[in-house]
Amino acid sequence: MHERELLRRIFDVSAGLGPEVVIGPGDDMAMLRPAGWSFSHGGAVGEGCGGGVLLAVDQLIEGVHFSRTTASLSQVGHKAMARCLSDVAAMAGKPRASLVSAVLPPSMSDDDAMELFDAMRATADMFHAPIVGGDLAAHRSQDHPLTCSITVMAEATDRGAVSRFGARAGDLVCVTGSLGGSLDSGRHLDFQPRIGESIMLHAILSSRLHSMIDLSDGLGIDAARMLEGADGLQVRIDAGVLPCHDGVDWKAAVSDGEDYELLCMVAPGDIPTSIVECPLTVIGEIVDRPSLEMPPVVVSSGGVEHDVSSSGWEHQG
């Protein structure tokens, strides 16, 4: 089984989702505008494409996404919630509520379970996504993996949601923060989703913000995902300007994954160098792909072009 291929096959069937589903499966979140619902912000009804309900679900599984030998239950709870909130950041949405389901080891004490949930709740509350519902069960065997599934409901702003698709030739490729070394440093356990930065970025760039994704699997592979369905485009990244964490080279920055920074494609023009206190770096551009033989994502380093379209990791092969 290959998770992403299977998800694609599953959702290929559901072509007819109806007019209420503005953004369907395959993006960071789905967006709905149910008939009869309206959304306004500060009293003004959303103009243009504004408003909508954003929904996404994400799992965190012991042995796949974390190990209990290296992560505390507080860190597991935080990461479970923060990963799902990072999807909200990728859409430039405002979190509104969350739900949690979990299957816990049978021997887990109530105090340990509370540590896990208190961490989820603290992160959820910090980003205005209170946990409004949940479901718990115990595994039959101590060997079975602790599993959390988090659903987040968010709201698109008046400017609409930002899809991961929509890059155009000539766009500048930008990334927040710094990349690489997330697993070794433990940053994958304590990162903060870029919710505020994302909304502000969208407010500043407005319709120039063509597409956005949060970097979960690695810059190479995630950039390639943004070009799905756009075979004629290529992402060209300049290794020399890649913002790397200390001790991380460009190859690790491209492939380590779990950065949870934002990668976005922006129409040419002024780009701020930071959003609040978060650096924003132009790392490359979108060009017309010379031919379908050429890779969709390349990094140029020292005059050499490297294919990084598959650089990153998938949680199973």
* Contact set for a copy of itself, span 183-242 (CB under 8 A): none
Q: Which stretch binds a copy of itself (CB under 8 A): 30-38, 180-188, 267-275, 280-288?
A: 30-38
**Judged by CB under 8 A, does residue 246 bind a copy of itself?**
no
Does 17 interact with a copy of itself (rule: CB under 8 A)? yes
User: Measured from the CB atom, is 22 or 174 closer to a copy of itself?
Assistant: 22
Q: Which is nearer to a copy of itself, 138 or 241 (CB)?
A: 138
Which sign, positive or negative, has the C-alpha torsion 300, 197, 78, 82? Answer: negative
In angstroms, give the least distance from the CB of 277 to a copy of itself.
27
Under rule CB under 8 A, residue 164 binds a copy of itself: no
**316 touching a copy of itself, by CB under 8 A:** yes
CA nearest neighbour of 127 among 193, 45, 42: 193
Q: In 10 A of CB 131, how many CB atoms? A: 18
Pairing status of strand 131-138 against strand 93-104: parallel
Residue 85: strand, helix, or coil: helix
SS3 239: helix
Task: Write down how long the chain is.
Answer: 317
**Separation between Cα atoms, residue 25 and residue 15, nearest integer Å:** 10
> Total residues at the site for a copy of itself (CB under 8 A)?
74
Q: Contact between 145 and a copy of itself (CB under 8 A)?
A: yes
Q: List Cα–Cα distances, 157 to 172, 175, 266, in angstroms.
A: 23, 21, 18
Binding to a copy of itself (CB under 8 A) within 259-288 occurs at none
Considering only the C-alpha atoms of the chain, give the largest distance between any 2 of them, rounded to a whole number of Å. 59
Given the complex with a copy of itself, which of 273 and 316 has the nearer CB atom?
316
> Hey, which residues between 86 and 125 contact a copy of itself (CB under 8 A)?
96-97, 99-101, 103-104, 106, 108-110, 113-114, 117-118, 121
Give residues 35-74 in contact with a copy of itself (rule: CB under 8 A): 36-42, 53, 55-59, 61, 63-64
CB of 169 to a copy of itself, least distance (A): 30
Nearer to a copy of itself, 44 or 292 (CB): 44
- In terms of CB distance, is 112 or 238 closer to a copy of itself? 112
Do 266 and 205 contact (CB within 8 A), yes or no?
A: yes
Closest listed residue to residue 205, CA positions, set 270, 286, 111: 270
